[in-house]
Amino acid sequence: MTLRDSFGRQITDLRISVTDRCNFRCVYCRSADPENYRGHDEILSWPELDRLARIFLGLGIRKIRVTGGEPLVRDGVEEFISRLHALGFPDLSMTTNGHLLAERSNRLLAAGLGRINISLDSLDPAKFERITRTQSFSKVMYGIDAVQNSRLAPAKLNAVLVRGLNDNEVEAFAQFARDRGVIMRFIEFMPLDADRHWSRDLVVPAAEVHDRIHKRWPLVQVPHERSETARKYRFADGAPGEIGLIASVTQPFCGFCSRIRVTADGKLRTCLFSKEDHDLRFLLRDGASDDDLVAYIRSVVNEKEEGHRINEPGFVPPSRTMVFIGG
Ligand code: SAM
Ligand code: SF4
C-alpha cells in the first residue's frame, strides 16, 4: 500500500515527535520565557505511538525519524526505537541536540538506530551558550565523538544559520567537516521561532553558504534523491567530510516533498507550515479501528498543501512553533 497526495507525490517519510519538552532553548526555536508544555496525558503514550508506527509502515512509510522537542528527554525512547526497528522500517533515524547523547549512544545503537542528526549551531562555546541558552557545548562534542566512533559515523550535524549571529562561522564549520570527516548541513532559518523574530534579513541563503565555502575549498555536487531536502557536496581536493545545504526558504523543495509529521500530542501535519493539524489522538482514544485510522490518514494526506507560502505576500507563520511540531 502507498500513500499519495493529490499532486501525485508519494509519502514515504514520517517525522514522529515523542515529546514537546526540551532541555535547550535555542533562540531560533523556543522563547526565553516559560512555555506551556502539554500535560502528560495529552502526549501520545508509547502504545499509541507503536500502533501509529505500525499503521504508517503498512501505508508505505519507509523513513521514520524520531524527534521532538528533545527526544532523549523522554524515558523509554530507546525501547521505542527498538520496537520501530523490529517492525522493520528500512530507514530509522533520530534528531537530537546531543546533550544526552554520549551517555545514551550505546543504548541507541543497541536499539537499532540507523542514522542520527545532531544540532550544532556554533563551534564557539560562548556563542553556543548564547544560541542554546545552555552550557552544554562540551557534552554535545562528546556526543559527536561517540557517534564518530560508532557504526553511525559519519555524524550529520545541523546548523541553523541566523544572520549576525553565527553566519561568520560558515568556513569554520566547513573546516570542522574536513577535520572530523562529518557531514555539515546548513539550514536556512524558517519562520517557526517562538519569539517571532524571524525576518527575511535574518535568513542566510544557501547559495551564499555554497559560494563562500566553494571559494575556499572547491565543492563538487554529489547526487541526491529527488525527495531529499539537502543538496550535497564533497570537497574537490578529496578531503573527508561533506557539506549539505537546506534551502527551505530561498529554494523550496515542496514539489518533491515526501514527508508528513505526527506531533507529540498526536496531530498529523502535512506541512511544517500547515494552518491546521489533524487529530489522530482523538481517534486513537475514541475506539477507532485500524481501518478507520488508515482511511482518515489517507484523506488528510490527500489534502497535503502544494507548498509552503513563505515567499508569497501575506504569509502568516503557523501558530505551532518548531518545538511543538517536531523538526
Ligand atoms: N531537539 C532536537 C534538535 O534540536 O536537534 C530535535 C528537534 S529540533 C525542533 C529539529 C531541527 O529543527 C533542529 O535541527 C533545529 O535546528 C531545527 N529548527 C528549529 N527551529 C528552526 C527554525 N526556526 N528554522 C529552521 N530550523 C529550525
Ligand atoms: Fe530544543 Fe531542538 Fe528547539 Fe533547540 S532546536 S530548542 S534543541 S527542540
Q: How far is the centre of ligand 1, averaged over its atoms, from the C-alpha of 279 (Å)?
A: 23
| Angle (CA) 240 242 244, round 5° | 175
Does 121 contact ligand 2 (Cβ within 6 A)?
Answer: no
pTM for this model (two decimals): 0.96
Q: What does the pLDDT read at residue 163?
A: 98
Q: How far is the CA of 190 from the centre of ligand 1 (A)?
A: 10
> What number does the ligand 1 atom closest to the CA of 121 have?
16
Cell of 127: 556563542
Whether 198 and 191 have beta carbons less than 8 Å apart is answered as yes
Question: What is the topology classification, in CATH, of domain 10-325?
Answer: TIM Barrel (3.20.20)
Q: Residue 152 carries which DSSP code?
A: T
Q: Which atom of ligand 2 lies closest to the CA of 30? A: 6
**Three-state DSSP class for residue 171:** helix
Local confidence pLDDT in tens for the 327 residues of the chain? 799 999 999 999 999 999 999 999 999 999 988 777 888 899 999 999 999 999 999 999 999 999 999 999 999 999 999 999 999 999 999 999 999 999 999 999 999 999 999 999 999 999 999 999 999 999 999 999 999 999 999 999 999 999 999 999 999 999 999 999 999 999 999 999 999 999 999 999 999 999 999 999 999 999 888 778 899 999 999 999 999 999 999 998 899 999 999 999 999 999 998 988 999 999 999 999 999 999 999 999 999 999 988 888 888 888 888 888 887
Residue identifier of the C-alpha nearest atom 4 of ligand 1: 97
20 lines ligand 2 (CB under 6 A): no
What is the rounded distance in angstroms from the CA atom of residue 33 to the CA atom of residue 150? 37
Domain positions in the chain: 10-325
Do 323 and 263 touch, CB atoms closer than 8 A?
A: no
What are phi and psi for residue 48, nearest 5 degrees? Answer: -65, -40
Alpha-carbon distance 190 to 272, whole Å? Answer: 10
Concatenating the DSSP letter of every residue in 2-34 gives -EE-TTS-EE-EEEEE--S--S---TTTS-SS-
Q: Establish whether residue 264 lines the binding site of ligand 2, counting it when its CB lies within 6 angstroms of any ligand atom.
A: no
- In the three-class reduction of DSSP (H, G, I as helix; E, B as strand; rest coil), residue 99 is classed as coil
